[in-house]
Amino acid sequence: MKLDEIKKNTQADHPPRKHQQGTYVPAAVECFRNETVKIIRAKIHDLFIDRFEAGSGETWCLVGANRSGIDSFFKLLAGELQDVEAEALVLPTNPGVISFRRQQDIFEEELRKDDTDFMDMIDPGTPARSFLHNPDEHRDLIRAFSMEDSLDKGYRQLSTGQSRKLMLLSRITQGCSSLVIQTPYDGLDQTSCRELDKALAACCKRKILIFIIVHNRSDIPSWCSHVGIIAGGRLAHSSLREKIMAPLDTIFAGQTPDFKASARELAGNGERLENREEELVRLKNGSAGYGGRDVFSDLDLLIRASDHTLVSGPNGCGKSTLLQVITGDHPACYRNDLRIFGIQRGSGESIWQIKQHMGIVSSELHRNYYVPGSTLHCIISGLYDSIGLYRPYTSADEKKALKWLERTGLAHEADTPFRRLSFADQRLVLIARALIKIPKLLILDEPTQGLDEPNRLAVLDFLEQVAEEELCTILYVSHRQDEFRDFFKQHLQM
């Protein structure tokens, strides 16, 4: 049976139902009380599912390592696969899908509508409120997501976590019959994770069928009723949550990237940081924001060579904005008392003079890297600080990039277009792109987003060795407390 041969019953749009104060009732819930999913002996290129069934009101957490086949399971549930062989295939009829790729689609559409060049200020983008269906009818849900103060912001003003919550709100307020969510906790601070759990738990009570995809055991929520384990290209286990937690170690069996084994080898000609008193970043009484509203102010920051710095704080507090000021990607870099590598910003220096000593990984860079090009070219572009590769490169450049691909387990993807990789593999490639030149300042804004436990720990172990060998200075933003390593010498809590 082919997926395109299976006719789905598409429910017509339903207006939101009236609800009592303090009780959120999603639109059109009553119409989908009997939503079911049934998959029997389904074959996908990297995944086999012998039998999987889910019924209305169940809440599933599907957990698997990167490249385990879990991305294909997500695409199947989301209705994104068109050629699937199966004995039986009943998929969600009206799913609300939240994924990194769909966030990217929204971002690219926002870029096409960006009028910053014709305004005297940064275009904030489409108001967040515009993404919701009848927001006044869903005030309790919006409050549960702690998004009341964000609805009047433009989309491009939202943090990664806020934009993810907005997507969830958008799907739920439109009356979806089920939710299919890819790694919902990535990019969210602890408070936002609790708020998201509370909101999704409320959806469970309304009998919405929920599937969430996670890569880390610690991300399995307490409210889910069932757990499925994807391992080695198969649905290995699926059952009630309390029956399946024991065999979870099996999902991380197999090879993981060996970053830690040879930091010095990968660094090539990288030299130790000699002048530990060299000031890399000095910001005095700093402030920045959007639309005339500061997201942080009165901030002092000094980073000297080897002062590996951790930055943490809630979503929307200005962590990413601070990094954009430092990298020169926010106009506030010129109105602040800011020195980068000893150069006063706004003194006539070229942005490329600054960035040639930086390696950067961020959600913004990831979103902006939508140009054509191979995986190999993406890594080489890190040597030239460009998004895309627009100049000839040497055989030595190629050899160095291939070495990084080998270490990330992606040597076989050298010629694959970067945008065809999974989100997790794209993130690994961007980390390699930032590290290839072993810069003076390595700026990492939640770099492990989308990575499974082994890959995440391998990256952190490698960074720890980079710090020990004094190859570069690390500026790192993270929400995860299990990433607060001892090599960080200072911690900025915003």
Q: What is the dihedral of CA 353, 356, 359, 360, to 10 degrees?
A: 50
Of 231, 252, 273, which residue constitutes the final position of a domain?
252
**62 and 175, same structural domain?**
yes
pTM (global) more than 0.85 = no
User: Considering its fold, how many domains does the chain have in total?
Assistant: 2
Sheet holding 441-445, edge to edge: 358-361, 441-445, 473-477, 309-312, 490-493
Using the Cα atoms of residue 378, residue 382, residue 387 and residue 389 in order, give the sign of their dihedral: negative
Of 234, 252, 270, which residue constitutes the final position of a domain?
252
| pLDDT for the residue 312 | 93
Taking CB atoms within 8 Å and a gap of at least 24, the contacts of 340-347 are 340/280, 340/281, 341/278, 341/279, 341/280, 341/440, 341/441, 342/278, 342/279
Q: Is the pLDDT of residue 14 over 90?
A: no
**268 and 173, same structural domain?**
no
Q: List the CATH number of the domain containing 191.
A: 3.40.50.300
**267 and 246, same structural domain?**
no
Answer for the pair 214, 63: CB distance below 8 angstroms, yes or no: yes
Of 252, 276, 298, which residue constitutes the final position of a domain?
252
Confidence band, pLDDT 50/70/90 cuts, at residue 94: confident
**Coil, helix or strand at residue 493:** strand
Pairing of strands 226-231, 209-214: unpaired
Distance CA 199, CA 166 (A): 12
**64 and 158, same structural domain?**
yes
pLDDT single digits (tens) 16-60: 323 233 333 333 333 334 678 999 999 998 999 999 999 888 999
Confidence band, pLDDT 50/70/90 cuts, at residue 155: confident
Share the mean pLDDT of the chain: 83
**233 and 292, same structural domain?**
no
Domain that holds residue 20: 3-252
**380 and 243, same structural domain?**
no
**265 and 236, same structural domain?**
no
Confidence band, pLDDT 50/70/90 cuts, at residue 64: very high
**312 and 220, same structural domain?**
no
Distance CA 404, CA 152 (A): 43
pLDDT single digits (tens) 230-268: 999 999 999 998 888 766 665 555 545 555 445 566 666
pLDDT single digits (tens) 382-421: 999 999 999 999 999 999 999 999 888 899 999 999 999 9
**272 and 220, same structural domain?**
no
**380 and 299, same structural domain?**
yes
**322 and 238, same structural domain?**
no
**335 and 457, same structural domain?**
yes
| pLDDT for the residue 239 | 92
Confidence band, pLDDT 50/70/90 cuts, at residue 200: confident
Distance CA 83, CA 266 (A): 41
